[in-house]
């Protein structure tokens, strides 16, 4: 078992949408990049949905997200697990990120999109009870972009993830 820690959020002050994963996998942690596993479909999907160039540098891909007022983070700040699978996370080891502070400094966020079931379930269990009188947010689970979610085709994932497009308004 290994104790793992998530990354800092990627966001702009005027972010309107927050995409939440659960915890970066081993490939992402090693590369120090969100969704770095070569078979994770996140960046391919963002290419179709927001026009992210898959051949561009990681920092340029992040700029496209923030230009579209999309923030990216994980529900968990730290946890213990033995592999990259969400199913290997030890429930009693979970410490969530500080969403009260995050939402306080990002008041324009009105929608939260979960990258899979674990992100949604962890948010509802570990984060919602800590928010108190936080603003009401629309929360939607999207199909996981993980290679472990092989039962959903890339085309189906892209179609589902297009839901974020009407929400984001790119800066002019």
Task: List active site positions.
Answer: 40
47-53 contacts, C-beta under 8 A, 24 or more apart? 48/158, 48/161, 48/162, 49/158, 49/161, 49/162, 49/164, 49/165, 50/164, 50/165, 50/168
CB 109 within 8 A of CB 20: no
Tokens of 144: 């996981």
């Amino acid at each position: 078992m290994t104790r793992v820690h998530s990354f800092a959020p990627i966001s702009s002050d005027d972010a309107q949408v927050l995409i939440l994963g659960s915890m970066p996998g081993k490939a992402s942690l090693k590369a120090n990049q969100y969704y770095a596993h070569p078979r994770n479909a996140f960046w391919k999907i963002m290419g179709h949905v927001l026009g992210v160039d898959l051949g561009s540098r990681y920092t340029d891909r992040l700029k496209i997200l923030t230009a579209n007022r999309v923030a990216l983070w994980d529900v968990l700040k730290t946890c213990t697990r033995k592999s990259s699978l969400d199913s290997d996370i030890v429930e009693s080891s979970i410490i969530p990120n500080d969403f009260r502070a995050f939402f306080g400094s990002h008041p324009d966020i009105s929608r939260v999109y979960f990258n899979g079931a674990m992100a949604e379930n962890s948010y509802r269990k570990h984060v919602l009870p800590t928010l108190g009188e936080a603003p009401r947010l629309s929360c939607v689970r999207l199909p996981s972009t993980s290679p472990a979610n092989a039962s959903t085709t890339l085309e189906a994932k892209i179609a589902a993830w297009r839901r974020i497009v009407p929400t984001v308004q790119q800066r002019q």
